[in-house]
């Protein structure tokens, strides 16, 4: 039946195709303009991508250097567990609290301050006691409560039909930048020392 119906309409089909193409062309232009390279050209989206990626790049440093840092702090294998768990546990707690207890406006208000303050507890690696360092890592992980606020800004900045592509771009960038952060942490630790690399301070002479 479909073949029979197509025969009488063959003369009119080129016209219908031309109309469909002319109608489809305006819709295809915005889609190409807002492709992933176009998203990166948007200053708001580019700034949000940067805010999403820079803090995780520094947050993976203690995880990448957890084992040698435990040795440098004299904590041994017993202290390695708290050093490995501090950041993830804090991040889960912070994001759950921000997502369930705070209103959307409050999430956005705390986003930028937390992005700036989250790396500061790493200065605690200048201390030589394992317990304060573990607690400071927990506090730094809790600073991940900035994520829901940034997510709200990101959703508003990206057109609805492109949010799937934008989230793919964001996730791929996060995974890549974390790997780069771990690699750079290892290189820096070779020259500056483990605790100095995590704390971001100049290494003292003879420090590990």
Answer yes or no: pTM beyond 0.75.
no
Distances (CA, A) of 127 to 77, 134, 141, 179, 198: 18, 11, 18, 27, 12
Burial-class residue 198 by CB neighbours within 10 Å (0-12, 13-18, 19+).
buried
d(CA 22, CA 183): 51
* Dihedral sign computed on CA atoms, order 66, 68, 74, 79: positive
Average pLDDT, the chain: 78
d(CA 162, CA 178): 24
Per-residue pLDDT of 89-140, as tens digits, reads 999 999 999 999 999 999 999 999 999 998 888 877 766 555 577 888 899 9
Per-residue pLDDT of 17-46, as tens digits, reads 444 444 444 444 444 444 556 676 678 888
Residue 38: CB atoms within 10 Å = 14
Phi-psi category of residue 201: left, alpha or beta, with phi > 0 → left and psi -120 to 50 → alpha: beta
Express as a percent the part of the chain with pLDDT over 70. 73
Domain boundaries, the chain: 36-199
């Amino acid at each position: 039946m479909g073949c029979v119906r197509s025969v009488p309409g063959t003369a009119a089909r080129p016209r219908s195709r031309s109309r469909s193409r002319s109608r489809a062309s305006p819709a295809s232009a915005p889609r190409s303009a807002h492709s992933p390279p176009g998203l990166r050209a948007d200053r708001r989206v580019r700034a949000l991508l940067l805010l999403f990626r820079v803090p995780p790049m520094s947050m993976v440093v203690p995880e990448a250097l957890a084992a040698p840092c435990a040795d440098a702090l004299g904590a041994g294998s017993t202290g390695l567990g708290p050093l490995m768990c501090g950041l993830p546990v804090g991040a889960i707690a912070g994001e759950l609290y921000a997502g369930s207890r705070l209103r959307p406006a409050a999430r956005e208000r705390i986003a930028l301050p937390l992005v700036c303050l989250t790396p500061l507890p790493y200065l605690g690696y200048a201390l030589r006691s394992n317990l304060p360092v573990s607690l400071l890592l927990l506090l730094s992980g809790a600073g991940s409560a900035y994520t829901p606020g940034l997510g709200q800004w990101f959703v508003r900045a990206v057109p609805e039909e492109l949010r799937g592509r934008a989230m793919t771009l964001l996730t791929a960038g996060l995974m890549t930048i974390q790997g780069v952060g771990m690699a750079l942490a290892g290189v820096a630790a070779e020259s500056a020392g483990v605790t100095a690399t995590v704390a971001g301070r100049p290494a003292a002479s003879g420090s590990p």
